[in-house]
Amino acid sequence: MFLLSCKTGQKPSQIKSGDGLFQLFEEPVGRGTFYSDKEGVFAEKGMVASAHVAASKVGTEILKSGGNAADAAVATFFALAVVHPFAGNLGGGGFAVIRDSEGQKLALDFREKAPLKGHKDMYLDESRDVIKGLSRLGHLASGVPGSVAGMVELHEKLGSKSWKQLLTPAIELAENGVKLTSGQAGGMNRYKSTFQKINGAATVYYVKGDSLEFAEGEVFIQKDLAESLRRIRDSGAKGFYEGETANLLVAEMEKGGGIISHEDLETYDAVWRDAIAKKYKDYNIISMPPPSSGGVALVQLLRLVEPYPLKEWGWNSANTTQLMIEAERRVYADRAKWLGDVDFVKVPITELMSYPYLEERWASFKENKASDSREISGGAVPFYESDETTHLSVVDKEGMAVSITTTLNGAFGSKVVVDGAGFFMNNEMDDFSVKAGVPNMFGLIGNKANEIQPGKRMLSSMTPTIVEKDDKLFMVLGTPGGSTIITSVYQTLLNVIEHGMTMQQAVNARKFHHQWLPDKTFIEKDALDLEALQVLLNKGYTIESQTRTLGWMDCILVHPNGMLEGASDPRGENTSVGY
């Protein structure tokens, strides 16, 4: 492995051999290993990695002004609600994993809840068949939003700057406008007809005239959203869950047949939970517990491959890939059977991650042939009776780290704009099992543990994660991507730990995904070389190459000399900013 060093702002190509800043992927790799040759961003004091450069700049300015990582995360979060409406939000929810400067691990659950009028059969017709699209599009698809409550809770517990200071940048972006990127303009143009169908005249600024389209570089102003943000700035959680914004939200629901009520909003709470904190070799994996499936699944995946020489076998070799596919197959089967909201169902969290249980799950693995998902169900525990998301990672100069994944679920959520409030609502109700055995929009199967109940939080794949090495902060990572979130985080983590990649290389590296059902492996173009592909096909694996990309990672790596490497995904318009 080559050890290099650089000064803040340098690119790797400018770096000369030195004091051990970061690793280079030393083994020769074939054409197509990396999605792009994008290079990481380096800084000494602080780093913010998010889906939009304007939001990352907001967070970094908060760090520069003396704010900590929690402050910067809150400010970045609200900025994303303005500049990245595709997934940034006021009307959604998510999870945060935090490691403070003293090493304390925290997990914050601000996942949406089913409305109090929700019930397990609400998306079924008289024949008990699923009504197509009802849980994905329109007012009835929305759960009770948790994003604002989550950010208030994060600030109250860990923030150091004033609340108003953290909201001001987002308000200014909404009021004065932000230049649209190519992706943002294209996204709003692509969903134009759907916005009009769902909202009519209430789409306000998300739709232009019939013959007009948004263009890259156009200044996009959101006056209604600015007013909603002002109410949150002035009154905190009450500025969203009570008063004018709450009235507008409930009126929108009533107008379109939704069931979110004032009582739903007033009784919503964000919850602090015990973070998943488990060892993988010499690393401590800190991630999100249920109702996220991410933390449990990530630890399972890592521990299933832990006994094997992945480094010796090499990145995406036939042996490495087969092992990881078989781990993913078993873990996603467990996800479907066992995972749900721990406030409503008993989830065997410790047992699912235990080595004896995982050894039993692995007993059916055969090196010479692919397993059959029809023969792999969720494992037996003796005592036991979401694609469009966005992620942000922050590290401050004191070593506090915040990893937040938040979502509306589908692109622009349910496509419902709250008239007069200027934000999109989520379609997270689709993340419940609307009927046992019926896949959601990401093809994920669910059962009774994740059925709809009033006030229950739907299961998620979001996997905000922090990694320690020798009890010191090492890595912060996460991504959007629905069902592919878990496997994208898994591969990116192993790319650094086992395959010696830099953080940016690990993000750039092409990925693959298996989720038990459907029984096939999806790969990014050129993720496997011809030799590995042929070996796997000969063993009976079904492999489907696709143009769709896997993951839009935003990650930070702490190098041995303390330098931070921000790595944002070239698959999107993601950007890291440090100082």
Nearest alpha carbon to residue 78 among 65, 67, 91: 91
Q: Show the tokens assigned to 396.
A: 């401050």
Beta strands in 417-520 (DSSP E): 465-469, 472-477, 512-513
In angstroms, the Cα distances linking 183 to 38, 216, 225, 574 are: 18, 8, 21, 11
Adjacent-strand bridge partners of 220: 178
Where are the alpha helices (H) located in 13-68, listed in sequence order?
A: 53-64
Query: What are the structure tokens assigned to 533, written together?
Result: 């592909």
What does the alpha-carbon distance between residue 352 and residue 363 come to, in Å, rounded to a whole number?
15
Q: Is 436 exposed, middle or buried (0-12, 13-18, 19+ CB in 10 A)?
A: middle
Active site residue 389: yes
DSSP H/E element including 524: strand 521-524
Give the ranges where 310-405 is alpha helix by DSSP (H).
310-313, 318-338, 349-353, 355-362
Strand, helix or coil for residue 153: helix
Whether the link from the prior residue into 348 is cis, omega within 30° of 0, is no
User: C-alpha angle with apex 197: 194 to 201, nearest 5 degrees?
Assistant: 110
The closest alpha carbon to 394, from 477, 454, 461, 490, belongs to: 477
Q: Which of 33, 181, 321, 389 is catalytic?
A: 389
3 state SS of 96: strand
Helical (H) or strand (E) element with 220: strand 219-220
CB 242 within 8 A of CB 101: no
Spatial contact of 187 and 86, defined as CB atoms under 8 Å apart: yes
Whether the CB-CB separation of 60 and 566 falls below 8 Å is answered with: no
Give the tokens for residue 358.
């995982």
ω before 309 within 30° of 0 (cis)?
no
Containing 284, the helix (H) or strand (E) segment is strand 283-287
- At residue 16, the 3 state secondary structure works out as strand
Q: Give the H/E segment covering residue 254.
A: helix 243-256
Instruction: Look at residue 430 and give its three-state secondary structure.
Output: helix
Compute the distance between CA of residue 299 and CA of residue 465 in angstroms, rounded to an integer.
Answer: 11
CA atoms within 13 A on the CB side of 150: 31
Residues designated catalytic:
389
